[in-house]
Structure formats: structure tokens, C-alpha cells
């Protein structure tokens, strides 16, 4: 799904895709969604509620499939026609060179689900949400904490490491 644009979420491109990989000692659940039909709050609410109501993965996957099917091409087109009147896009091309973009929110309950093996130990973004200057913020595992995922070019990280004033502030 990397590189699929939101308006391509009809026809052969899914609005939501889920991959569940079972390991010997746990599972990975990979999700990708089309932002034209769901935002972060509704995604995490749906994700946590669907599994908490349907103790097994098969039923959970079926419920997700039914929910995605509710978003028809007609609904998507209606939303896009409304949005076209006042579009606001942020792209790497029109972003200032030294800008940071923050996404997600520490209010999203990303660690609130339990698939029968305990709560998640980590949440990460995929390649579609990673670009230079992109910072993603999630609620942390421990109450009151936050997880921050920062994507910076190698040259930027090297410059930070070589900046003694910066390193004095961030190291103990």
C-alpha cells in the first residue's frame, strides 16, 4: 500500500488492509488505512473496540471487513467533492526546508488492546508515514508517558551528534 494516494481508495485499492503474522511467542498486526475514510481517533477506537468485543482474530478480521465495506465509493466521492472546495495539503515539496511535521496524538489508546498474549510491547509506523522531519507521537506503555518516533536524515543526525551544545543538553 506504500505510495497509494487517498483518492485511489476505490476500485482495486482497499480502504483498509490488515496483515496478521503469528510468531512462536506472539503476533504482529500490520494495518494500513485510507485517511479519506478514517482519522487517528476513529481508527484506534475501532481497532480497540472491535477486538475487545470479539475475543478471536478470525471474528475480529471479519468485523473489520464489514466496517470497511460500509464506506462506499459514493460516500468517498461525496466527501472528496466537498473537500475540493477548500483543499489543504502538506507535502514535502511545499513544506519549509527546516520544518518538522507532527502526526498522531498521545491521546490515542494504541496500547489498550490485548489479543490474549498481553498488551502490545511496541507501536511503529510504516514507510508511508516516514519522511525527513516527521515526528509521530503516541501514548506510551506506562501511564502518563509518550512514545516519540522521529524520522531524520542521516546527515541531520550526524550534525546533531557533532553539535556539542545540543549534545550537552540531551545527554546525562
pLDDT tens digit sequence for 99-120: 667 788 778 888 887 767 778 8
Tell me which of 13 and 165 has the higher pLDDT.
165
Domain limit, last residue, from 86, 121, 142: 86
**How far is the C-alpha of 171 from the C-alpha of 169, rounded, in Å?**
6
Asked if residue 163 and residue 113 are part of one domain, the reply reads: yes
Residue ranges making up the domain that contains 38: 1-86
Residues in the chain: 172
- State the pLDDT confidence band at 58, using cuts at 50, 70 and 90: low
**How far is the C-alpha of 126 from the C-alpha of 131, rounded, in Å?**
11
Q: How many domains does the chain fold into? A: 2
Asked if residue 155 and residue 118 are part of one domain, the reply reads: yes
Asked if residue 136 and residue 58 are part of one domain, the reply reads: no
Asked if residue 74 and residue 13 are part of one domain, the reply reads: yes
Give the residue numbers marked as catalytic. 114
CB 57 within 8 A of CB 19: no
Is residue 96 over pLDDT 60? Answer: no
Tell me which of 68 and 138 has the higher pLDDT.
138
Task: Give the closest residue to 29 by CA, choosing from 68, 71, 60.
Answer: 60
142-152 per-position pLDDT tens digit = 888 888 888 88
Residues 6+ apart with CB under 8 A from 113: 47, 48, 51, 52, 119, 120
Domain limit, last residue, from 66, 86, 106: 86
Amino acid at each position: 500500500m506504500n505510495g497509494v494516494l487517498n483518492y485511489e481508495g476505490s476500485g482495486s485499492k482497499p480502504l483498509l488492509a490488515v496483515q496478521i503474522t503469528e510468531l512462536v511467542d506472539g503476533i504482529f498486526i500490520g494495518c494500513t488505512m485510507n485517511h479519506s475514510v478514517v482519522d487517528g481517533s476513529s481508527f484506534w477506537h475501532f481497532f480497540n473496540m472491535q477486538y475487545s468485543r470479539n475475543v478471536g482474530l478470525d471474528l475480529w478480521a471479519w468485523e473489520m471487513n464489514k466496517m470497511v465495506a460500509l464506506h462506499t465509493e459514493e460516500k468517498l466521492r461525496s466527501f472528496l467533492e466537498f473537500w475540493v472546495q477548500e483543499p489543504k495539503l502538506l507535502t514535502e515539496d511545499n513544506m519549509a526546508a527546516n520544518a518538522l511535521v507532527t502526526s498522531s496524538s498521545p491521546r490515542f489508546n494504541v496500547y489498550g488492546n490485548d489479543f490474549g498474549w498481553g498488551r502490545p510491547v511496541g507501536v511503529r509506523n510504516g514507510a508511508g508515514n516516514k519522511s525527513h522531519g516527521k515526528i509521530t507521537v503516541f501514548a506510551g506503555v506506562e501511564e502518563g508517558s509518550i512514545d516519540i518516533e522521529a524520522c531524520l536524515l542521516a546527515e541531520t543526525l550526524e550534525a546533531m551528534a557533532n553539535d556539542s551544545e545540543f549534545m550537552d543538553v540531551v545527554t546525562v
